[in-house]
Amino acid sequence: MPDNGSTPAKAATADGLAAAQATKRQRVRLLIRAAGMLPVLLLLCGGFHYLSDGRFFTGQNLGIVLQQAAVNTVLAAGMTFVILTGGIDLSVGSILAASAMAGLTISKLPELGALWLPVAVLTGLGFGVINGALIALLRLPPFIVTLGSLTAVRGLARLLGADTTVFNPSIPYAFIGNGSLTLVPGVASIPWLSVIALLVILVSWLVLRRTVLGVHIYAVGGNESAARLAGIKVWAVLIFVYGVSGMLAGLGGGMQAARLYAANGLQLGQSYELDAITAVILGGTSFVGGIGSIWGTLVGALIIAVLSNGLILTGVSDIWQYVIKGLVIIGAVALDRYRLQGSART
């Protein structure tokens, strides 16, 4: 190896100083990037609290917000895996409906009823793996494949219940849909749906940041050709991420079914994919892949939930809620672009 011992000491200290400065700048930049949309979320919370005369920061309301964010958080976590590879999954809403239908149907069978939740999750996983196989093995564009399954799986969801609403008032584990986990008796509790969502986020973080597979996911999104040449099994990574997205959509279906004691193949999960994608984008994950974090996605999902909740609290009409939400999304991402541009110079 080249001998570096002869470098003059003066140059070495100058180098060290410059390096220390660069490290500091790097850290500040990382902090800004990590904080991402968190200031926006906090501003929204504070603003709504003020506008609603102090009705936002109450234990009850925060519980509602967390519960409303739960299903979208789970879908968005799966979507984060997909978008990190540079793909997209438009079919999560339909998969959620089909999984809920499959789960509810099983839950009504006396001897298999308790298995309804695993069945819902596995149904989602199955559809996700099919998406992934079509994308990875036949090399079809993700947008096209999942656009197709958006429609096809919606049809299957309707078939599963013979196009009716399936009810099961005595569905096992109904508590996950409506119960809460008591943290401090009588003072603090957290809805089970939110507990599940948080667990999903934690496991996603673990996979993305602490496993070999996680690095491979970022690598495939960052540079697919380089990943292939570096010996990464790109096809396996792609099947995995679409599988995860499908599986989490299945879990989301189970969460909805437990909450509603019912599912309708036509209505359930309509346009959920849009909210999930929005959460991921708000969270700062790059649409071309390779850059992003699961914590950003959590913040993104919370922003969406806080917006809906806050606009209702402040009495904004349903129609204007759409307009405002849309504008906030565009504004937030524009802000993000601007912020990153300022720090992009190296």
List residues near another protein by CB under 8 A: 1-2, 4, 15, 19, 22-23, 26, 210-216, 218-219, 222-223, 225-233, 290-291, 345-346
CA atoms within 13 A on the CB side of 137: 9
Which residue number, 6 or 60, has a Cβ lying nearer to another protein? 6
R_g over Cα of the chain = 23
| Cβ at position 287, least distance to another protein in Å | 13
Which residue number, 319 or 344, has a Cβ lying nearer to another protein? 344
Which residue number, 75 or 237, has a Cβ lying nearer to another protein? 237
Can you tell me the distance from the alpha carbon of 230 to that of 226, in angstroms, rounded to the nearest whole number?
Answer: 6
Closest CA to 250 of 83, 71, 130: 71
Continuous segment of H or E residues that includes residue 190: strand 188-191
| Cβ at position 239, least distance to another protein in Å | 16
Which residue number, 75 or 239, has a Cβ lying nearer to another protein? 239
Closest CA to 77 of 97, 92, 58, 67: 92
Which residue number, 119 or 220, has a Cβ lying nearer to another protein? 220
Which residue number, 158 or 216, has a Cβ lying nearer to another protein? 216
Altogether, the residues listed in the chain come to a count of 346
| Cβ at position 235, least distance to another protein in Å | 10
| Cβ at position 74, least distance to another protein in Å | 22
Which residue number, 221 or 253, has a Cβ lying nearer to another protein? 221
Can you tell me the distance from the alpha carbon of 219 to that of 234, in angstroms, rounded to the nearest whole number?
Answer: 9
Which residue number, 235 or 261, has a Cβ lying nearer to another protein? 235
Q: How far is CA 27 from CA 16, 31, 145, in A?
A: 16, 6, 40
Q: Is 82 in contact with 74 (CB distance < 8 Å)?
A: no
| Cβ at position 15, least distance to another protein in Å | 8
Closest CA to 309 of 79, 73, 57: 57
Can you tell me the distance from the alpha carbon of 342 to that of 38, in angstroms, rounded to the nearest whole number?
Answer: 18
| Cβ at position 330, least distance to another protein in Å | 24
| Cβ at position 207, least distance to another protein in Å | 9
Which residue number, 228 or 325, has a Cβ lying nearer to another protein? 228
Q: Is 124 in contact with 99 (CB distance < 8 Å)?
A: yes
Can you tell me the distance from the alpha carbon of 64 to that of 59, in angstroms, rounded to the nearest whole number?
Answer: 9
| Cβ at position 35, least distance to another protein in Å | 18
Residue 148's DSSP bridge partners are: none
The angle at the Cα of 248, spanning 206 to 261, to the nearest 5 degrees, equals 135
| Cβ at position 51, least distance to another protein in Å | 39
Continuous segment of H or E residues that includes residue 262: strand 262-264
